[in-house]
Amino acid sequence: MLCVARVSRLYYPTLSLVSKSFRSLVSSPELYKTRSLFGFTESCLYVCFTKDLWYTLCRKPDKTLKSGSSGYALARVPVPNSPLWHCRNMVAVGSNIYNIAFPRSLNVLPRVSILDCKSHSWIEAPSLPVELHSFSASVVDHKIYVAGFDHRLMKNSFEVFDTQTRVWDSLSTSNTSAEREEMFIKKAISIDGKFHVVTDKEVLAYDPKLAKWDMVGRGMRELMYSEAYCVIGNVLYYAKEGVFKWYDTERRTWRDLQGLVGLPKITRHREFIRLGDYGGKMVVFWVHVIWTYYKKIWCAEISLERRPDTSEIWGKVEWFDQLRKININFQVEKVLSTTL
């Protein structure tokens, strides 16, 4: 078992094809305990598609590589009995992916399910205690913060889920602008250990250590119009029409990500762009549509460097490649990084 524990998890999809015993081994709890004990844990990338499809980034066997290939591919993940879900409200904490599902009718609490990425099985968790039908979630210190609108009470609601105790609690918003009913919550992200709520009017930040809300300006509101964003190394990045930017929290403004030499041009004519944090590097997914037939899923891995002399952030393209072809009706919804 120790020999397999030393192997990068990028090769586990291939190992699972060798035999039933290997397939059982790479999903056994004992293997992951060994990986954790000897310090072999690593970031593992999961990609959520529409139509209840899950894939993970993997390495191809060397003998199958073609000239110029990056060696990476997307391997299908067998996830049985998936609950009703919406990928945009999924967050990753440790080795688990948490899904807070939009209810399909009134008077129904949003269900919470946990995908155990070791065994690829779903576990039910306590439902969100407030009837929210529009909300966004983010993670601070292994706790999931949810911001949304309570249609029953007609007010904004802010809840927090402790992933260790699996208990929900409410955040106080008394005497703060977070109480305002007319604010429509667009996004929730976490930077500097604070839970940021992007609304159509302003941006609020909640500090869990001080239990305090603050207004942090409106500069981050540009994020409202993009689904291609992620936080890496405590920096918020987003992409729009092929332009990559990062948010300078000191100047409270968006700045261009420099470098990116060799990255293919990704224009607004592409169907989507999705970003993700992959062990401190940025992964970018985009699609090339072959109309009436299929879509080609492309990915690039970009290392990031902040240069102290100019305070700029530069991106270096490590590799990019076509990873898979999928049905014309499918698309990438969410890119999530777990630790296994």
189-218 b/e (C-beta count within 10 Å ≥ 16 → b): bbbeebbbbbbeebbbbbebeeeebeebee
79 compared with 95, residue with greater pLDDT: 95
Which amino acid is present at 138?
S
3-state secondary structure of 10: helix
Written as six digits, the tokens of 179 are 């109480």
Domains of the chain with bracketed CATH: 1-41 (no CATH), 79-224 (2.120.10.80), 226-334 (no CATH)
State residue 294's pLDDT score: 83
Model pLDDT for residues 12-41, shown as the tens digit of each residue:
998 888 888 888 888 899 999 999 999 999
Q: How confident is the model at residue 335 (pLDDT cuts 50, 70, 90)?
A: very high
Q: What average pLDDT does this structure show over 228-240?
A: 93
Eight-class DSSP state of 127: P
Instruction: Give the residue-averaged pLDDT of 122-150.
Output: 90
What is the CA angle 125-204-213, rounded to 5?
A: 80
Q: What is the pLDDT of residue 190?
A: 95
Q: What tokens were used for 288?
A: 């090339």
- DSSP for 180-213? -TT--EEEEEEETTEEEEEESS-EEEEETTTTEE
Distance CA 37, CA 97 (A): 22
Let me know: does 178 contact 216? Beta carbons within 8 Å: no
Over residues 206-231, mean pLDDT? 87
Q: What pLDDT score was predicted for residue 97?
A: 95
What residue has token string 């003998």? 63
- What is residue 105's predicted lDDT score, i.e. its pLDDT? 66
- Distances from the Cα of 192 to the Cαs of 225, 248, 249, in angstroms? 23, 12, 9
Q: What is the pLDDT of residue 269?
A: 52
The distance from CA 77 to its chain's CA centroid, rounded to whole angstroms, is 17
Q: What is the pLDDT of residue 161?
A: 97
Q: What is the pLDDT of residues 155-209, one digit of tens each?
A: 888 999 999 999 999 988 765 666 665 567 788 999 999 999 988 788 889 999 9
CA end-to-end span of the chain: 15
- Judged against a pLDDT cut of 80, whether residue 117 lies above it is answered with yes
pLDDT of residue 270 exceeding 60, the answer is: no
DSSP annotation of 78 reads -
Averaged pLDDT for residues 302-330: 91
Listed residue (265, 278, 260, 272) closest to 226, CA to CA: 272
The 8-class DSSP code of residue 30 comes to: H
Mean pLDDT of 225-253: 90
- The beta-strand segments (E) located in 271-331 are 273-278, 281-290, 294-307, 312-327
Asked whether the predicted pLDDT for residue 258 surpasses 70, the reply is: yes
Q: For residue 171, which of 162, 160, 163 has the smallest C-alpha distance?
A: 160
Q: Which two tokens stand for residue 173?
A: 């918003």
Whether 95 shows a pLDDT value over 80: the answer reads yes
What is the model's pLDDT at position 87?
61
Kindly report, residue by residue over 49-87, the tens digit of the pLDDT. 887 789 999 998 775 666 668 899 999 998 876 666 566
Single-letter residue type at 285: F
